[in-house]
Amino acid sequence: MQLFRFHNPEYLYLLLLVPVLLIFMIINARLRSKKIKTAGDEALIKKMMPGFSSYRVNFKSFLQLLAVTLAVFILARPQFGSKLEEIKREGVEVIIALDVSNSMMAEDIQPNRLERAKQAISTLVDRLREDKIGLIVFAGDAYTQIPVTTDYVSAKMFLSSISPGIVPKQGTSLESAIDLGINSFSPKMEDSRALVIITDGENHEGRVMEAVERANEKGVVIHTIGIGSGTGVPVPVTNQGRKDYLKDNEGNTVITKLDEEVLKQIAFSSGGKYVKASNTNIGLNSIFNEISSMKTQELEGTMYTEYDDQFQVIAALVLLVLLADILIMERRNRKLSKIKLYDVQV
């Protein structure tokens, strides 16, 4: 399946000028015809201007309008994506487990913990070249958002739709995230497997260290990124169109804070690295460097190649139209006019 898009679709608004120019051309042609008629006897004027052709003038105006229209499409940069391709490469498999619990909406990391984490993941995907990536979201339970893939374009598309509302059960179960991550790697991958957990570390459910032991048995290295403030902040929510803060069953404002200890323990116990995120640095660059040093294996997968510009054909048409506009003169060519293929002379 071919994918089509305009890289700069905002330029398509210039097409709104085309009907305006067309109306201007029609008005101009009528005014020119009216002036000729009011100048005197029409038969006499034609004898005085034997080479003049209103048809040629109008046709040249049409060519100019066509050139403008085609030029707009060039500015919009039409592009096609290629078909899915089978690829083989040397790399590692990376699965990112992203916390989407309500506490990730806290704004101690701007614009909030979750959005900042998504921005960092998007940047990480841009840096990947030979590796596979998968994405897990978790709160009270864990869910596969993107199976391990080399299709980075699709990975970024799915990433943009992630929010706390995509999971039915709230909470923070690091155990579920780790177990699902372990089972999400390709069966053939014995080494070169890294699980990156991005969370505020408030583990409310499960026996997380038992899950870490299962990861160690499978050879999965777990890196953790702690995102949030250690002092604690309220969790913003929207209530009847107004900004409010999340409250517990007793009406008290819920305060969420980063729990670094459990995240450090997870990373150190599995041979991974722990990084504390900040407003300026989420920490994925540091984790990426660790992943880059891992042993690579041959990976197989499918992916869409990048979109290719397809404006060349339109540009060639514009040149042909402009060339025709130059070659077609407003006055008849006397030598060519002697060649009468039809009875009607233009």
- Provide CB contacts within 8 A for 243, sequence distance 6+: 236, 237
- Partners of residue 5 on adjacent β-strands: 79
What is the residue whose two structure tokens read 């995907």?
Answer: 125
Q: Is the pLDDT of residue 216 over 60?
A: yes
227, 198 Cβ separation under 8 angstroms: yes
The pLDDT of residue 341? 42
**Is residue 324 helix, strand or coil?**
helix
Percentage above 70 pLDDT, the chain: 81
Q: Which residues contact 283 (CB under 8 A, 6 or more apart)?
A: 120, 225, 275, 276, 277
- Residue 342's pLDDT band, with cuts at 50, 70 and 90, is very low
Dump pLDDT digits (tens) for 36-92: 667 655 565 555 555 556 677 778 888 888 888 998 988 888 877 655 556 566 778
CA 48 – CA 160 distance, rounded (Å): 70
Please give the model's pTM, rounded to 2 decimal places. Answer: 0.61
Q: How confident is the model at residue 138 (pLDDT cuts 50, 70, 90)?
A: very high
Q: Between 252 and 304, where is the model more confident?
A: 252
Give the pLDDT of residue 132.
86
Q: What is the pLDDT of residue 40?
A: 57
pLDDT band of 183, cuts 50, 70, 90: very high
Helix axes 174-184, 208-217, angle to 10 degrees: 20
Preceding amide of 111 cis, omega within 30: yes
Structure tokens belonging to residue 148:
């391990």
Is residue 162 within 8 Å of residue 153, measured between CB atoms?
A: no
Share the mean pLDDT of the chain. 81
**C-beta separation of 65 from 324 below 8 A:** no
Find out whether 308 and 143 touch, Cβ atoms under 8 Å: no
Residue 267 pLDDT: 94
Measure Cα distances from 231 to 19, 101, 228, 257, 259 in Å.
61, 19, 9, 6, 10
Higher pLDDT, 251 or 306: 251
| Contacts of 262 by beta carbon, 8 Å cutoff, 6+ apart | 174, 201, 203, 208
Please say if the pLDDT value at position 339 is more than 60: no
Contact 116, 109 (CB under 8 A): yes
The most confident of the ranges 133-142, 148-157, 199-208, 304-313 is 133-142
Checking if the pLDDT of 130 tops 90, the result is: no
In tens, the pLDDT along 257-267 reads 888 999 999 99
Please, where are the H alpha helices in 39-151? 42-48, 54-76, 113-127
Q: What is the SS3 assignment for 292? A: helix
Tokens of residue 262, six digits: 């459990």
**Domains in the chain, CATH or no CATH each:** 3-80+309-337 (no CATH), 92-304 (3.40.50.410)
Locate tokens 């009216």: which residue? 34
Rounded to the nearest 5°, which phi and psi values hold at 88? Answer: -130, 135
Helices and strands of the chain, counted as H and E runs: 11, 15
pLDDT band (50, 70, 90) for residue 96: very high
Span 296-323, mean pLDDT?
73
